[in-house]
Amino acid sequence: MNILITGAWNHALEYLDKIKQQGHSVIFMQHEKNELPCSYDWAEGIICNGLFLSHPIEKFKNLKYIQLTSAGFDRVPLEYVKEKKIEIHNARGVYSIPMAEFAVGAVLQLYKKSVFLYENQKKHRWEKHRGLLELCGKEVCIVGCGNVGTECAKRFQAFDCRVVGVDLFPREDRHFDKMVSLEVLDTILTETDILILTLPLTNETRHIIDARRLSLLKNEAVLINIARGAVVDTEALITALDRLGGAVLDVLEQEPLDQSSPLWDKEHVIITPHNCFVGEGNGRRLDTLIMKIFEERGKLS
């Protein structure tokens, strides 16, 4: 198979010889926005992230296989992929651990009033805060129970939280106290202390958390979005934050967030620049995932 590999796979150069030894022809390009180093017709397999944002997938007439370095599929025209019966894989599980750790850490920052304590430290001020909260006993609702959601569930269970999963395809899973379908999301939200969004962005999930659903949350509930920005109606969230306990937003509808957004200045909001997926183990996990697929599928022909 003729395989085009981009620099989105950080360690690709370390594996080119091994891939060639399996019978593949390989061409490497560092930057996905650059001109292709081969003809579009040459590529039968592609390992990339956002290549199709700069190079329309329709030009790759002989494409049979796509391996993404991202967990999301939103940079790929999936209807076309399905129509042409192109095999596609994402980076399933690669980024789940740092994202789940981020979710726990962010909630703890809000619950333990880290900003207040840090500001006092900078001012050399010795002042107690009597409003610190505990994770123990809280009800955590995780919407989207794939790899990221499951890793979140493991960690919040360890803090003696009650973890409820909401998913399009509910299942029995020991890491969730229960898992239910999306049809009952509204009921679950009324009981939720911590809402974690880890679901993919689709036409159906765009603004799935809107003004109405935000109104169902308890006062002092915390929302964490580590999915895609557009699963939350930003304007509705800004209004709802007057009564909610806070929000942790690693993703936003507009990235970067406009400097004039009121979200920047809300004390109970944590904003991070689409950063929660970062962890030193990602490279190793991605290498293992990609090479395992090569080994399992032989020559991918």
Catalytic residue numbers?
228, 255, 274
Distance CA 89, CA 69 (A): 9
Measure the CA–CA gap between 98 and 184, rounded to whole angstroms.
29
Q: Find the distance separating the first CA and the last CA of the chain, reported in whole Å.
A: 6
Residues 251 and 265: their CA atoms lie apart, in Å, by 17
Q: Which of 228, 197, 209, 248 is nearest to 75 (CA)?
A: 228
Strand partners, 178: 164
Return the H-helix or E-strand segment holding 148.
helix 147-158
CB-based contact 56:14 (threshold 8 Å): no
Which pair of structure tokens corresponds to residue 213?
A: 């659903």
Tell me the torsion sign for CA atoms 254, 239, 144, 207.
negative
Contacts of 210 (CB under 8 A, 6+ apart): 233, 236
Amino acid at 245: G
- CB 91, CB 74: distance < 8 Å: no
Rounded to whole angstroms, what are the CA distances from 85 to 24, 52, 65?
A: 21, 17, 9
